[in-house]
Amino acid sequence: AQKVTQAQTEISVVEKEDVTLDCVYETRDTTYYLFWYKQPPSGELVFLIRRNSFDEQNEISGRYSWNFQKSTSSFNFTITASQVVDSAVYFCALYGRRALTFGSGTRLQVQP
């Protein structure tokens, strides 16, 4: 069985603070994919990133960065200089063995 754990249920920061959202996963597969999705108040999920299990390079996209560490089974997401528009629920997900499993999500509130 595979599992995704997002232990942080809710995080509140003040604008311009950096914030890291944690994601820990469990899988027995050697080939798998990890995702982050953002769910703004409007409801639809928006794809942010996908990594496969063979690519441990960290990725940066503007204010967003992702740290993938197989040794600790983690795929953490950092927002630098957070903005109010970053307020949303963020989901980490794992695809392996024909199944896509989502974590329970982390609600991020960025206060002005």
Q: What residue ranges bind other proteins (CB under 8 A)?
A: 4, 9, 33, 35, 37, 42-47, 50, 52, 91, 93, 95, 98-105
CB of 76 to other proteins, least distance (A): 17
List beta partners, residue 94: 34, 101
The distance from CA 25 to its chain's CA centroid, rounded to whole angstroms, is 11
- Residue 106 contacts residue 6 (beta carbons within 8 Å): yes
The distance of closest approach from Cβ of residue 49 to other proteins in the complex, given in angstroms and rounded to an integer, is: 9
The residue among 52 and 83 lying less far from other proteins, judged by its C-beta, is 52
Contact assessment for residue 79 and residue 67, using Cβ atoms and an 8 Å cutoff? no
Cβ nearer to other proteins, comparing 53 with 80: 53
